[in-house]
Structure formats: C-alpha cells, structure tokens
C-alpha cells in the first residue's frame, strides 16, 4: 500500500557563533558571545522546519554543550527519525525518548523544528498546535550583568525610558556576599523602589552564605531569589524556602515534570524557572508547568539565552500554557549583536510581541546563517 504521509528526509544541526552586545557576567562564567545550535528539518513535501537550542558558557551552566547537542542530533537522533512521519510529532519524540536518554537540549531543538514544519504544513502557528492561546504578548525582564553598578543603573534607566523593560534580574555570586548586597542596594537606589528586581545566584552560595544573602535581599525588597544554592541540594533549598518570605525560584535544580513533582513534595522552591531546553521541548515544558501549577508552585518563563528562534519557540509554549505570574525573561535576542532570522522579534511596552504567521512565524536569513555558521561547507541548498 502506498503511504501518503509526509516523511522526515534530513536533519541538519548547524553551530552558529554570534557576538553579544556586552560581556554578560554570571557567577560561573563571563559570556562574550553565544553559540546557537540551529536545526533545519527537511520534509518530503518540501517544508523545512527550524529549531534552536543553546547552552550558557559552553559547559558552565549545565552538562550539555552546543557541540554535544550537534553530536547527539547527527549521530543518534537523526537516524531514528529519517523516514518517519513528519506530522506525528509526539510519536517521533517518543521514538527518540526510548533510544536517547537525557540530551534535553537536542530533543528540544528537534521537536521545535518538527512543530515549525507542521505549522507551515497546516497554516497554523505553533501555539495553536499546542492548544492555542489568548496571550499575544509576554512580559519580559532584562538582566543587568555588566558587573558594574553605575553602568547597570544607566542601562536600566534607559530601558525603562524606552518602555522595553521595567523588571530587572541581577546576577550575583561572583563576589563575597556583603559586596553583592552592596551592589544590589546601589542598583535598587539608582533605579528607585518602584522598579522590581530579582537576583540569580546560579548556585554559588553555600547554606550559610545563602542565609546571610537571602536575609539581606529580603530586607532590600527583592522580588525573588533564584537558585541560591546548588540545585541538587533540594533539602537545603527546602530549608531556605521555609525560612524566608522572599520566594525562592528553582532554576538549575529544576528541569522537567518529574523534578516539579519532587520539588513540590519537598517544598524545595516557591517558583519554577521553566525552560524548554531543560525540559526537553515545548510539550515537555508545558507538562512541567502543569505539574507545578497543580502543586501550587509559581511559574516563570526562563531562558537559556537562546537567540530569536529558541526564544520565540519558548514564547509559543509559554503563551499556550498556564499563566506566568512571575513573568518571563525571553530577552535572549536582545543580548546578541546580530541575528540569523529575517525579522528580529518585537519588544514593546515591556513585553515580547508574538509574531504572526504559520509555524514559529520566523524565516532564516540564509546569508547571515552562512556568515556566522562554524562549518560553512555543509549548507544544504534550498
């Protein structure tokens, strides 16, 4: 019998190196650029889906690097998917899930490309494939992370003036606690009490430092404290959550629905930083959100500092899921000096505006892709 199905024909994973607009200082690394893993998924009907994933500072944030993502896709995921039904996204991802443990970033980029291709085939945006949405924009904060308080205040004031952001995340944990507290206090003073601030420690404190730091941040009126201590130390996270009124948000200590379940059982956090790359895709991040919501946890739309494709993919998922009471941080494209899509995303009135159109609503700029890709010999002609 003949099969009318549209099949997956080929999957390309392309490393793209882009410069950042300024150094981005986190507790564990300083970023001067970002590497995007861009996926182009070719289907037998001629549609090409696009997807993206990133890491932060190579292997500084987590266990998956851009290079390991590319290897997982090229060597393990692609052979499982070539010839499969391109429209049966869940079936394809279940097939991958059986044979490939972990590697959530690679799965995320491939699932995104499958959804983008399906959206183009059906003439529907990705959020509609995920159940549809009422939200056409998502509030987005900005991270002030130059390391210099005066420069951060200037940057913040100018962004408030432009109505681009009015909530800011500060990166701490590189310096002694008292110095970080002084840094945060200086920025609070410079931006004014009406502006909400969060801090992200990226796991840098031990429990004693976290007790000192969280007490001081609570005193300063900080909105939430993100991952103050190692993410695997859930008992300590639970002790800190119980001790302080300032909400504790799990980031490195939370990836997927199973983590949400355990965090809820232990009381290890008040808020979950949802990231498509950590969860293993758009469907998986919504599953984690649903578990968190059912358990009474707060939800926040996080980023792995993806470029436009990855950030917009996250936006489609977040807009289709439960309300993000704590907002989102989908500002990744704004940290990059240049882009590889034809239209850069629109940030207006402190929010990311959802693009219109089928799939992700994006198109690659093939000249820019050729310019920034690491292995220019392997471009597949369109």
CB of 157 to Mg ion, least distance (A): 24
Binder among 303, 311, 314, 328 for ligand MUC (CB under 6 A): 303
Distances (CA, A) of 345 to 50, 175, 277, 332, 340: 16, 34, 20, 10, 12
Binder among 200, 256, 270, 306 for ligand MUC (CB under 6 A): 200
Residues 234-253 touching Mg ion, rule: CB under 5 A, are: 251
Applying CB under 6 A, does 251 fall inside the site for ligand MUC? Answer: yes
Applying CB under 6 A, does 155 fall inside the site for ligand MUC? Answer: no
Strands 224-226 and 248-250: parallel
Buried b (16+ CB within 10 A) or exposed e, 119-157: bbbeeebbbebbeebebebbbbbbbbbbbebeebbebbe
Between 12 and 200, CB nearer to Mg ion:
200
Based on the residue annotation, tell me whether 368 is a catalytic residue of this protein.
no
Going by the DSSP 8-state scheme, the letter that residue 381 receives in this structure is P
Applying CB under 6 A, does 35 fall inside the site for ligand MUC? Answer: no
Task: Say how many residues touch ligand MUC, by CB under 6 A.
Answer: 11
Three-state DSSP state, 46: coil
Between 155 and 200, CB nearer to Mg ion:
200
What residue is closest to Mg ion based on CB? 251
Applying CB under 6 A, does 202 fall inside the site for ligand MUC? Answer: yes
What residue is closest to ligand MUC based on CB? 143
Per-residue contact track with Mg ion, 168 to 207, x per CB under 5 A? --------------------------------x-------
Binder among 16, 41, 56, 86 for ligand MUC (CB under 6 A): 56
47 touches which of Mg ion, ligand MUC, none (CB within 5 to 8 A by kind)?
Answer: none
Q: Which of 346, 348, 338, 330 is nearest to 372 (CA)?
A: 338
Q: Which of 299, 304, 236, 302 is nearest to 61 (CA)?
A: 304
143 touches which of Mg ion, ligand MUC, none (CB within 5 to 8 A by kind)?
Answer: ligand MUC
Whether the CB-CB separation of 227 and 253 falls below 8 Å is answered with yes
Based on the residue annotation, tell me whether 306 is a catalytic residue of this protein.
no
Applying CB under 6 A, does 54 fall inside the site for ligand MUC? Answer: no
252-324-55-240 Cα dihedral, nearest 10 degrees: -20
CB of 273 to ligand MUC, least distance (A): 6
Q: Which of 12, 10, 52 is nearest to 360 (CA)?
A: 52
| Separation between Cα atoms, residue 223 and residue 199, nearest integer Å | 8
228 touches which of Mg ion, ligand MUC, none (CB within 5 to 8 A by kind)?
Answer: none
Beta bridge partners of 125: 359
CB of 251 to ligand MUC, least distance (A): 5
Q: Which of 171, 275, 278, 287 is catalytic?
A: 171
Whether the CB-CB separation of 135 and 128 falls below 8 Å is answered with no
Q: Which residues bind ligand MUC (CB under 6 A)?
A: 56, 143, 145, 169, 200, 202, 251, 302-303, 305, 329
């Amino acid at each position: 019998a003949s099969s009318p199905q549209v099949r997956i024909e080929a999957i390309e994973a392309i490393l793209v190196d882009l410069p950042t607009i300024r150094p981005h200082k986190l507790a564990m690394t300083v970023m001067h650029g970002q590497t995007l893993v861009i996926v182009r998924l070719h289907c037998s009907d001629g549609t090409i889906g696009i997807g993206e994933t990133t890491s932060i500072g190579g292997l500084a944030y987590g266990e998956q690097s851009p290079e390991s993502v590319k290897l997982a896709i090229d060597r393990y995921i692609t052979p499982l998917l070539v010839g499969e039904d391109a429209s049966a996204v869940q079936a394809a991802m279940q097939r991958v899930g059986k044979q490939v443990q972990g590697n959530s970033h690679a799965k995320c980029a491939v699932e995104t490309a499958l959804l983008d291709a399906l959206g183009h085939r059906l003439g529907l945006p990705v959020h509609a494939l995920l159940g549809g949405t009422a939200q056409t924009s998502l509030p987005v904060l900005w991270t002030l992370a130059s390391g210099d308080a005066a420069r951060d205040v200037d940057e913040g004031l100018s962004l408030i003036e432009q109505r681009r952001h009015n909530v800011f995340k500060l990166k701490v944990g590189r310096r002694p606690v008292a110095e970080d507290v002084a840094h945060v206090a200086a920025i609070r003073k410079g931006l004014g009490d009406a502006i909400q601030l969060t801090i992200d420690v990226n796991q840098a404190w031990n429990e004693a430092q976290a007790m000192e730091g969280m007490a001081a941040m609570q005193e300063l009126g900080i909105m939430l404290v993100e991952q103050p201590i190692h993410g695997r130390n859930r008992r300590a996270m639970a002790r800190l959550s119980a001790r302080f009124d300032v909400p504790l948000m799990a980031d490195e200590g939370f990836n997927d629905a199973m983590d949400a379940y355990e965090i809820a059982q232990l009381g290890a956090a008040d808020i979950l930083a949802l990231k498509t790359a950590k969860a293993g895709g758009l469907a998986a991040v919504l599953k984690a959100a649903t578990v968190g919501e059912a358990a009474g946890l707060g939800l926040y739309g996080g980023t792995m500092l993806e470029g436009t494709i990855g950030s917009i993919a996250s936006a489609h998922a977040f807009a289709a899921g439960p309300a993000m009471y704590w907002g989102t941080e989908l500002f990744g494209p704004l940290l990059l000096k240049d882009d590889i899509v034809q239209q850069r995303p629109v940030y207006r009135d402190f929010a990311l505006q959802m693009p219109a159109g089928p799939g992700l609503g994006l198109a690659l700029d093939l000249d820019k892709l050729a310019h920034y890709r690491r292995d220019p010999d392997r471009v597949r002609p369109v």
